[in-house]
Chain A
């Protein structure tokens, strides 16, 4: 059993566009310990989201391996990887991605419908998750009746409701105003510190990245060595307090 919660070895991803192969990620070696909050930063097209998708087994690598909780996720079948993702990964999207026809409570309950929990237990867990994100008073609101910040908090509640080992967030503040963004970052910080959740967050925003305990940079598909910042980015990153 690996000591890392997340471990990637020579992780590579290439996309095919007609006859061209476009490298999105090159030989990335990332290690994340239990309880860490890691921010992945880099310019557009640097491979941040690709790395996140590969860790969540939402995409298959062209080369290399991904271990999450010691499980080589690349070796799982499509059905098995879906069940594994349900049990171990909570994913937060930039654009919230709630199901519009369901209420906040139903959206949060959705991943639990794949578990063996009965209806009352599912509702109990979903309410608890919404309570954690501070939306106990919005249980029966449809997504269109919520603000962007509230929608993202529902999405976070949905990500944590199965009590996953890892929370992966893909630019969770990208579509939010500064106030709502701060609420979401505070919430993620709480989940990391109070609930001990391991979090990997992709962000463009240097301010958001400062919430993390460690920042790793990517540039042109390469995961830069620990502490190294892309040259043209160096001046824009505020020093960590």
Chain B
């Protein structure tokens, strides 16, 4: 087949406009497919980073909207395999104008003295950590959010609560860096707790549990939930990664949704490519007769026609994957909403699958017209007029 690459290439460019449009349609579809598969991979198949794998989240078994008593913290800390427990309270609220989505970023009330040990991936200078710990109204923000809102140490930030009917007057004391998840704001839980009414005080939405060893995650989660099985407020303990995914689940069956769109995109492009290849082969039935007269077997003729179709699909797939990488780069820079997108990319397995899909489209779209043309008797093929 390598001897015929030049013929395949030249045939592919025979009708330039049609070839370019076909390649582009495959490229756009494969780009969409690549991004969707990258999202799917990122949500459901990517390994949690080591630091994240060492963390569990404990919440109320009923729902996130139902808090747990602060007193659970000490009891969780006593479970075998638990290294440390930190309050991890979602604040929500509004920064400046809630109507502008750019003003959205995650805000958490935490135990500040435990943040650097529970989240060692957050890097900040020693002075800034000290400043954060020493002042109850201090807060720190991730580099990305700080850059977006032009926040600097010393700057005053006002958060108007919604879940919690309080107005927090915070001072930025540090800007942290992290490979992922560097868009959050953290402040003292104590400040929030003391601002709350008696009814809301001493209750926590979630606890972040740091494990001694990653392998103990299942055992520790079960031990925590078992400990509160007969308590009035039962717990649900899961890995931080699973906890993140539960937010995506708010949107519905995202897994099925993504797979369905991937399937629809693949099927649609298969029809488009199939139509194009059928036209292309039909225009060349006479040449099939010529090739067979020269001694080309039906198999060789079929190989040439399919090679052309696969070449166009692979080229389209390559361009599409390039676009998908670009789109993922844009997504990485966009604000996180339901889950951390800061590391989304098209990983090699996804790229391989996408190229495999492109090759399959090339084969499937051409197999029937190529087979029919290659089996047509020579005399009939030579007399064929389109």
Enumerate chain A interface residues (CB-CB to B < 8 A).
Answer: 53, 56, 58-59, 78-79, 82-83, 85-87, 91, 93, 97, 99-102, 106, 110-111, 113-114, 119, 158, 162
Contacts and interface: CB of A to CB of B under 8 A. Distances in A.
Given A82-B295, A82-B297, A158-B294, A101 B378 contact: no
5 residue pairs, one from A and one from B, having the closest CB atoms: A86-B295, A101-B10, A58-B378, A82-B297, A79-B297
B379 A53 contact: yes
B375 to A, nearest CB: 9
Interface string B347-386: 0000000000000000000000000000001110010000
B3 A58 contact: no
B294 A58 contact: no
A101 B294 contact: no
Contact of B294 (A53, A59, A111): A111
Contacts of B377: 59
B157 to A, nearest CB: 67
Contact of B295 (A53, A102, A114): A114
B290 A78 contact: no
Contacts of B287: 99
Nearest to A86: B295
Nearest to B7: A102
B290 A99 contact: yes
Interface centre among B286, B295, B300, B377 (most CB of A within 10 A): B295
Given A101-B10, A102-B10, A114-B300, A82 B292 contact: yes
A83 B295 contact: yes
B297 A101 contact: no
A168 to B, nearest CB: 10
Interface residues of B, number: 25
Contacts of A158: 294
A78 B297 contact: yes
Contacts of A106: 6-7
Nearest to B11: A101
Contacts of A111: 294-295
Nearest to A100: B14
A78 B299 CA distance: 10
Contacts of A56: 293
A103 B171 CA distance: 76
B298 interface: yes
A166 to B, nearest CB: 13
A55 to B, nearest CB: 12
B4 A113 contact: yes
A113 B290 CA distance: 14
Contacts of B247: none
8 contacts: A58-B292, A82-B296, A83-B295, A85-B293, A85-B294, A101-B11, A113-B4, A119-B3
A142 B351 CA distance: 39
Nearest to A15: B379
Contact of A87 (B3, B291, B295): B295
Contacts of B295: 82-83, 85-87, 111, 114, 162
Given A97-B290, A101-B14, A106-B6, A83 B297 contact: yes
B284 to A, nearest CB: 9
A158 B294 CA distance: 9
A87 B296 CA distance: 11
A106 B290 CA distance: 14
A113 B11 contact: no
Contact of B293 (A79, A91, A101): A91
A101 B382 CA distance: 18
A82 B221 CA distance: 70
Contacts of A93: 290, 293, 382
A158 B295 CA distance: 12
